[in-house]
Structure 1
Amino acid sequence: MTLHPFNGIGPTIDPSAFVAPGAQLIGDVTLGPDSSVWYNCVLRGDVERITVGARSNIQDGSVVHVTRKRHGTEIHDDVLVGHMAIIHGCVLESHSFIGLAGIVMDACVIEADGMLAAGSLLPPGKRIGAGELWTGRPARFTRALTPEEIARNRAGAAGYVELARQHRTSLAGQR
Protein backbone atom coordinates (compact mmCIF):
# COMPACT_ATOMS: atom_id res chain seq x y z
CA MET A 1 0.00 0.00 0.00
CA THR A 2 1.17 3.48 -0.71
CA LEU A 3 -0.19 6.48 1.14
CA HIS A 4 0.44 9.92 -0.36
CA PRO A 5 -0.27 13.19 1.42
CA PHE A 6 -1.47 15.97 -0.86
CA ASN A 7 -1.29 19.63 0.17
CA GLY A 8 -0.56 18.53 3.72
CA ILE A 9 -3.54 16.16 4.02
CA GLY A 10 -2.95 12.42 4.14
CA PRO A 11 -5.20 9.39 4.22
CA THR A 12 -6.82 8.31 7.51
CA ILE A 13 -7.18 4.55 7.81
CA ASP A 14 -8.97 2.71 10.60
CA PRO A 15 -6.60 0.09 12.09
CA SER A 16 -9.03 -2.71 11.17
CA ALA A 17 -9.20 -1.67 7.49
CA PHE A 18 -7.27 -3.63 4.86
CA VAL A 19 -5.35 -1.88 2.10
CA ALA A 20 -3.73 -4.32 -0.32
CA PRO A 21 -0.23 -3.91 -1.74
CA GLY A 22 -0.25 -1.81 -4.88
CA ALA A 23 -3.23 0.30 -3.83
CA GLN A 24 -2.65 4.06 -3.91
CA LEU A 25 -4.45 6.38 -1.48
CA ILE A 26 -3.84 10.07 -2.13
CA GLY A 27 -4.87 13.08 -0.04
CA ASP A 28 -8.13 13.40 1.88
CA VAL A 29 -9.21 9.75 1.98
CA THR A 30 -10.80 8.13 5.03
CA LEU A 31 -11.34 4.37 5.42
CA GLY A 32 -13.76 3.13 8.08
CA PRO A 33 -13.61 0.01 10.25
CA ASP A 34 -13.24 -3.33 8.45
CA SER A 35 -13.33 -1.64 5.04
CA SER A 36 -11.03 -2.91 2.31
CA VAL A 37 -9.25 -1.47 -0.71
CA TRP A 38 -7.90 -4.19 -2.96
CA TYR A 39 -4.92 -4.64 -5.23
CA ASN A 40 -4.11 -1.84 -7.69
CA CYS A 41 -6.93 0.49 -6.71
CA VAL A 42 -6.50 4.26 -6.75
CA LEU A 43 -8.43 6.51 -4.35
CA ARG A 44 -7.45 10.09 -5.17
CA GLY A 45 -8.82 12.65 -2.73
CA ASP A 46 -6.66 15.47 -3.98
CA VAL A 47 -9.25 18.18 -4.64
CA GLU A 48 -12.19 16.94 -2.55
CA ARG A 49 -12.79 14.35 0.18
CA ILE A 50 -13.34 10.59 -0.23
CA THR A 51 -14.92 8.64 2.62
CA VAL A 52 -15.35 4.87 2.72
CA GLY A 53 -17.59 3.57 5.50
CA ALA A 54 -17.46 0.49 7.66
CA ARG A 55 -17.20 -2.92 5.97
CA SER A 56 -17.28 -1.46 2.45
CA ASN A 57 -14.91 -2.76 -0.18
CA ILE A 58 -13.32 -1.30 -3.28
CA GLN A 59 -12.28 -4.26 -5.40
CA ASP A 60 -9.19 -4.76 -7.56
CA GLY A 61 -8.30 -2.14 -10.16
CA SER A 62 -11.05 0.33 -9.25
CA VAL A 63 -10.63 4.10 -9.32
CA VAL A 64 -12.36 6.47 -6.91
CA HIS A 65 -12.05 10.21 -7.52
CA VAL A 66 -13.86 13.51 -6.91
CA THR A 67 -14.80 16.73 -8.72
CA ARG A 68 -12.90 19.87 -7.75
CA LYS A 69 -14.92 22.25 -5.57
CA ARG A 70 -18.17 20.41 -6.42
CA HIS A 71 -18.45 16.75 -5.48
CA GLY A 72 -16.60 14.63 -2.98
CA THR A 73 -17.23 10.89 -2.97
CA GLU A 74 -19.13 9.22 -0.14
CA ILE A 75 -19.20 5.46 0.10
CA HIS A 76 -21.33 4.52 3.10
CA ASP A 77 -21.34 1.24 5.07
CA ASP A 78 -21.45 -2.30 3.62
CA VAL A 79 -21.03 -1.19 -0.01
CA LEU A 80 -19.69 -3.53 -2.70
CA VAL A 81 -17.67 -1.89 -5.49
CA GLY A 82 -16.80 -4.50 -8.13
CA HIS A 83 -13.48 -4.96 -9.88
CA MET A 84 -12.39 -2.21 -12.31
CA ALA A 85 -15.21 0.18 -11.36
CA ILE A 86 -14.93 3.95 -11.69
CA ILE A 87 -16.59 5.93 -8.91
CA HIS A 88 -16.49 9.71 -9.42
CA GLY A 89 -17.92 12.49 -7.26
CA CYS A 90 -21.01 10.60 -6.11
CA VAL A 91 -22.78 9.03 -3.12
CA LEU A 92 -23.11 5.27 -2.64
CA GLU A 93 -25.50 4.67 0.23
CA SER A 94 -25.24 1.70 2.60
CA HIS A 95 -25.67 -1.75 1.05
CA SER A 96 -25.45 -0.47 -2.54
CA PHE A 97 -23.62 -2.55 -5.16
CA ILE A 98 -21.62 -1.45 -8.19
CA GLY A 99 -21.01 -4.35 -10.58
CA LEU A 100 -17.73 -5.17 -12.33
CA ALA A 101 -16.48 -2.29 -14.50
CA GLY A 102 -19.48 -0.15 -13.56
CA ILE A 103 -19.11 3.62 -13.86
CA VAL A 104 -20.87 6.06 -11.52
CA MET A 105 -20.44 9.69 -12.52
CA ASP A 106 -20.69 13.09 -10.81
CA ALA A 107 -23.65 13.97 -8.58
CA CYS A 108 -25.16 10.48 -8.77
CA VAL A 109 -26.72 8.75 -5.79
CA ILE A 110 -27.25 5.03 -5.41
CA GLU A 111 -29.67 4.46 -2.56
CA ALA A 112 -29.61 1.62 -0.03
CA ASP A 113 -29.62 -1.82 -1.70
CA GLY A 114 -29.57 -0.20 -5.15
CA MET A 115 -27.47 -1.92 -7.79
CA LEU A 116 -25.68 -0.81 -10.95
CA ALA A 117 -25.08 -3.88 -13.10
CA ALA A 118 -21.68 -4.94 -14.41
CA GLY A 119 -20.43 -2.82 -17.29
CA SER A 120 -23.14 -0.19 -16.85
CA LEU A 121 -22.62 3.58 -16.88
CA LEU A 122 -24.70 5.85 -14.66
CA PRO A 123 -24.66 9.34 -16.23
CA PRO A 124 -24.19 12.49 -14.13
CA GLY A 125 -26.96 13.42 -11.73
CA LYS A 126 -28.92 10.14 -11.89
CA ARG A 127 -30.36 8.42 -8.83
CA ILE A 128 -30.85 4.68 -8.42
CA GLY A 129 -33.65 4.11 -5.92
CA ALA A 130 -33.56 1.74 -2.98
CA GLY A 131 -33.63 -1.88 -4.14
CA GLU A 132 -33.53 -1.01 -7.84
CA LEU A 133 -31.40 -2.66 -10.54
CA TRP A 134 -30.16 -0.42 -13.34
CA THR A 135 -28.38 -1.77 -16.44
CA GLY A 136 -26.86 -0.51 -19.70
CA ARG A 137 -24.82 2.33 -21.16
CA PRO A 138 -26.37 4.68 -20.28
CA ALA A 139 -27.95 2.84 -17.36
CA ARG A 140 -31.71 2.76 -17.02
CA PHE A 141 -34.08 1.25 -14.49
CA THR A 142 -34.53 -2.45 -15.26
CA ARG A 143 -36.48 -3.87 -12.32
CA ALA A 144 -36.71 -4.14 -8.56
CA LEU A 145 -34.24 -6.54 -6.95
CA THR A 146 -35.75 -9.57 -5.26
CA PRO A 147 -35.36 -10.05 -1.51
CA GLU A 148 -33.03 -12.97 -2.29
CA GLU A 149 -30.80 -10.79 -4.48
CA ILE A 150 -30.64 -8.11 -1.80
CA ALA A 151 -29.71 -10.72 0.81
CA ARG A 152 -26.99 -12.12 -1.49
CA ASN A 153 -25.52 -8.65 -2.05
CA ARG A 154 -25.53 -7.95 1.67
CA ALA A 155 -23.79 -11.27 2.33
CA GLY A 156 -21.16 -10.32 -0.26
CA ALA A 157 -20.08 -7.30 1.78
CA ALA A 158 -19.72 -9.45 4.90
CA GLY A 159 -17.76 -12.01 2.88
CA TYR A 160 -15.25 -9.37 1.86
CA VAL A 161 -14.62 -8.45 5.49
CA GLU A 162 -13.58 -12.04 6.18
CA LEU A 163 -11.58 -12.31 2.94
CA ALA A 164 -9.68 -9.14 3.84
CA ARG A 165 -8.74 -10.66 7.20
CA GLN A 166 -7.41 -13.74 5.42
CA HIS A 167 -5.35 -11.61 3.00
CA ARG A 168 -3.92 -9.56 5.87
CA THR A 169 -2.87 -12.77 7.67
CA SER A 170 -1.40 -14.30 4.53
CA LEU A 171 0.56 -11.16 3.66
CA ALA A 172 1.87 -10.84 7.24
CA GLY A 173 3.24 -14.37 6.94
CA GLN A 174 5.31 -13.35 3.88
CA ARG A 175 7.33 -10.71 5.73
Structure 2
Amino acid sequence: MALIKSVRGHLPQFGKGCWMADNASLIGDIICGDNCTFWFQSVVRGDVAAIRIGDEVNIQDGVIIHGTFEKADTTIGDQVSIGHRAIVHGCTIGSRVLIGMGAIVMDHALIQDQVIVGAGSLVLENSVLESGFVYAGSPVRKIKAIDPKQFEFFVTRTARNYQMYASWFE
Protein backbone atom coordinates (compact mmCIF):
# COMPACT_ATOMS: atom_id res chain seq x y z
CA MET A 1 0.00 0.00 0.00
CA ALA A 2 1.25 3.49 -0.87
CA LEU A 3 2.50 5.74 1.93
CA ILE A 4 -0.15 8.44 2.38
CA LYS A 5 0.82 10.75 5.22
CA SER A 6 -0.57 13.86 6.84
CA VAL A 7 1.81 16.76 7.47
CA ARG A 8 1.00 20.07 9.21
CA GLY A 9 -2.68 19.13 9.25
CA HIS A 10 -2.87 18.35 5.51
CA LEU A 11 -3.84 14.86 4.37
CA PRO A 12 -3.54 14.21 0.61
CA GLN A 13 -6.89 14.24 -1.24
CA PHE A 14 -7.55 12.19 -4.36
CA GLY A 15 -10.33 12.21 -6.95
CA LYS A 16 -12.04 9.09 -8.18
CA GLY A 17 -10.20 6.35 -10.04
CA CYS A 18 -6.67 7.21 -8.84
CA TRP A 19 -4.12 4.40 -8.55
CA MET A 20 -0.98 4.33 -6.41
CA ALA A 21 1.87 1.82 -6.54
CA ASP A 22 2.68 0.06 -3.29
CA ASN A 23 5.81 2.12 -2.66
CA ALA A 24 4.63 5.53 -3.89
CA SER A 25 4.85 8.27 -1.22
CA LEU A 26 2.14 10.94 -1.12
CA ILE A 27 2.63 13.39 1.71
CA GLY A 28 0.91 16.54 2.95
CA ASP A 29 -0.91 19.27 1.05
CA ILE A 30 -1.82 17.45 -2.16
CA ILE A 31 -5.11 17.80 -4.00
CA CYS A 32 -5.38 15.50 -6.99
CA GLY A 33 -8.04 15.16 -9.68
CA ASP A 34 -9.56 12.02 -11.15
CA ASN A 35 -7.89 9.04 -12.83
CA CYS A 36 -4.30 9.87 -11.86
CA THR A 37 -1.60 7.26 -11.41
CA PHE A 38 1.41 7.35 -9.08
CA TRP A 39 4.03 4.79 -10.04
CA PHE A 40 6.71 2.90 -8.16
CA GLN A 41 9.05 4.97 -5.98
CA SER A 42 7.38 8.24 -6.94
CA VAL A 43 7.42 10.89 -4.21
CA VAL A 44 4.90 13.72 -4.11
CA ARG A 45 5.83 15.78 -1.05
CA GLY A 46 3.45 18.55 -0.09
CA ASP A 47 5.14 19.19 3.24
CA VAL A 48 6.49 22.70 2.62
CA ALA A 49 4.32 23.89 -0.28
CA ALA A 50 0.98 22.97 -1.85
CA ILE A 51 0.76 20.56 -4.77
CA ARG A 52 -2.25 20.62 -7.09
CA ILE A 53 -2.66 17.93 -9.76
CA GLY A 54 -5.36 17.85 -12.45
CA ASP A 55 -7.15 14.88 -14.04
CA GLU A 56 -5.52 11.98 -15.91
CA VAL A 57 -1.97 12.76 -14.78
CA ASN A 58 0.61 10.00 -14.60
CA ILE A 59 3.54 10.37 -12.24
CA GLN A 60 5.93 7.70 -13.44
CA ASP A 61 8.53 5.63 -11.58
CA GLY A 62 11.02 7.57 -9.46
CA VAL A 63 9.50 11.02 -10.07
CA ILE A 64 9.88 13.64 -7.34
CA ILE A 65 7.36 16.48 -7.03
CA HIS A 66 8.01 19.14 -4.38
CA GLY A 67 7.94 22.89 -3.81
CA THR A 68 9.81 25.56 -1.87
CA PHE A 69 8.65 26.81 1.54
CA GLU A 70 6.98 30.25 1.35
CA LYS A 71 8.16 30.59 -2.24
CA ALA A 72 6.84 28.12 -4.80
CA ASP A 73 3.82 25.79 -4.93
CA THR A 74 3.49 23.19 -7.68
CA THR A 75 0.52 23.07 -10.06
CA ILE A 76 0.04 20.44 -12.76
CA GLY A 77 -2.79 20.56 -15.32
CA ASP A 78 -4.81 17.75 -16.95
CA GLN A 79 -3.47 14.90 -19.10
CA VAL A 80 0.14 15.42 -18.08
CA SER A 81 2.75 12.65 -18.25
CA ILE A 82 5.80 13.09 -16.04
CA GLY A 83 8.45 10.64 -17.21
CA HIS A 84 10.53 8.30 -15.10
CA ARG A 85 12.93 9.97 -12.63
CA ALA A 86 11.92 13.53 -13.54
CA ILE A 87 11.99 16.25 -10.87
CA VAL A 88 9.18 18.83 -10.82
CA HIS A 89 9.83 21.55 -8.24
CA GLY A 90 7.74 24.60 -7.41
CA CYS A 91 6.51 25.23 -10.94
CA THR A 92 3.37 25.41 -13.06
CA ILE A 93 2.73 22.87 -15.78
CA GLY A 94 -0.26 23.36 -18.09
CA SER A 95 -2.48 20.66 -19.59
CA ARG A 96 -1.58 18.06 -22.22
CA VAL A 97 2.14 18.22 -21.48
CA LEU A 98 4.83 15.54 -21.60
CA ILE A 99 7.82 15.95 -19.29
CA GLY A 100 10.49 13.54 -20.54
CA MET A 101 12.40 11.02 -18.47
CA GLY A 102 14.99 12.54 -16.17
CA ALA A 103 13.98 16.14 -16.92
CA ILE A 104 14.23 18.76 -14.16
CA VAL A 105 11.76 21.65 -13.90
CA MET A 106 12.80 24.35 -11.40
CA ASP A 107 10.92 26.87 -9.23
CA HIS A 108 8.60 29.37 -10.92
CA ALA A 109 9.03 27.83 -14.35
CA LEU A 110 5.85 28.03 -16.42
CA ILE A 111 5.19 25.31 -18.97
CA GLN A 112 2.15 26.31 -20.99
CA ASP A 113 -0.42 23.85 -22.42
CA GLN A 114 0.58 21.45 -25.18
CA VAL A 115 4.34 21.28 -24.68
CA ILE A 116 6.83 18.43 -24.90
CA VAL A 117 9.98 18.66 -22.75
CA GLY A 118 12.66 16.22 -23.92
CA ALA A 119 14.29 13.59 -21.74
CA GLY A 120 17.15 14.86 -19.58
CA SER A 121 16.25 18.51 -20.11
CA LEU A 122 16.75 21.28 -17.54
CA VAL A 123 14.03 23.93 -17.30
CA LEU A 124 15.61 26.76 -15.32
CA GLU A 125 13.91 28.88 -12.65
CA ASN A 126 11.49 31.48 -14.09
CA SER A 127 11.57 29.97 -17.60
CA VAL A 128 8.45 30.19 -19.75
CA LEU A 129 7.90 27.42 -22.30
CA GLU A 130 5.44 28.53 -24.96
CA SER A 131 2.54 26.33 -26.05
CA GLY A 132 2.89 24.23 -29.19
CA PHE A 133 6.61 23.47 -29.12
CA VAL A 134 9.13 20.78 -28.28
CA TYR A 135 11.89 21.90 -25.90
CA ALA A 136 15.10 20.05 -25.07
CA GLY A 137 18.60 20.57 -23.71
CA SER A 138 20.31 21.75 -20.58
CA PRO A 139 19.16 24.46 -20.27
CA VAL A 140 16.16 23.91 -22.54
CA ARG A 141 15.75 25.70 -25.79
CA LYS A 142 12.91 25.66 -28.30
CA ILE A 143 13.62 22.89 -30.81
CA LYS A 144 10.61 22.85 -33.14
CA ALA A 145 6.86 23.22 -33.43
CA ILE A 146 4.93 20.14 -32.33
CA ASP A 147 3.69 17.98 -35.17
CA PRO A 148 0.00 17.16 -34.48
CA LYS A 149 0.51 13.41 -35.11
CA GLN A 150 3.57 13.35 -32.86
CA PHE A 151 1.64 15.21 -30.19
CA GLU A 152 -1.29 12.78 -30.33
CA PHE A 153 1.08 9.81 -30.05
CA PHE A 154 3.39 11.08 -27.32
CA VAL A 155 1.03 13.12 -25.16
CA THR A 156 -2.59 12.01 -25.51
CA ARG A 157 -1.81 8.31 -26.02
CA THR A 158 0.66 8.21 -23.12
CA ALA A 159 -1.84 9.81 -20.74
CA ARG A 160 -4.49 7.22 -21.70
CA ASN A 161 -2.12 4.25 -21.66
CA TYR A 162 -0.98 4.83 -18.08
CA GLN A 163 -4.57 4.47 -16.89
CA MET A 164 -4.71 1.14 -18.71
CA TYR A 165 -1.37 0.01 -17.24
CA ALA A 166 -2.65 0.76 -13.74
CA SER A 167 -5.61 -1.54 -14.32
CA TRP A 168 -3.19 -4.45 -14.78
CA PHE A 169 -2.19 -4.15 -11.09
CA GLU A 170 -5.70 -4.27 -9.61
Moved >2 Å (runs of 4+): none
2:161 matched to which residue of 1? 159
Cα deviation for residue 10 of structure 1 reads 1.0
- Gapped runs of 5+ residues in structure 2? none
Q: Aligned-residue CA RMSD in angstroms? A: 0.9
Q: Deviations over 1:36-76 (max 9, x none)?
A: 11010110101111111110111000000011112111111
How far is the alpha carbon of 1:15 from its aligned partner? 3.5
Q: Does 1:74 align with 2:75?
A: yes
Cα distance in 1 for residues equivalent to 2:76 and 2:118: 17
Q: Which runs of 5+ in 1 are unaligned?
A: 170-175
Q: Does 1:122 align with 2:132?
A: no
The Cα shift of 1:9 comes to: 1.0
Aligned equivalents of 2:131 and 2:156: distance in 1? 13
Letter in 1 for 2:99: I
1:23 correspondence with 2:8? no
| Residues in 1 aligned to 2:165 and 2:15: alpha-carbon distance in whole angstroms | 17
Contact 1:59 1:84 in 2 (8 A): yes
SS at match of 2:119: coil
Is contact 1:111-1:130 (8 Å) kept? Answer: yes
**TM-score scaled by structure 1?**
0.93
What amino acid sits opposite 2:166 in the alignment?
A
Counterpart contact for 1:115–1:128, Cα < 8 Å? no
Q: Distance in 2 between matches of 1:119 and 1:54?
A: 25
Choose 8-17 or 100-109, whichever is displaced more: 8-17
Identity %: 33
The two structures have a TM-score, normalised by structure 2, of 0.96
In structure 1, how many angstroms separate the alpha carbons of the residues matched to 2:36 and 2:16?
10
Q: What's the counterpart of residue 50 of structure 2? A: 49
- State the SS of the aligned residue for 1:155: helix
CA distance in 1, matches of 2:33, 2:56: 7
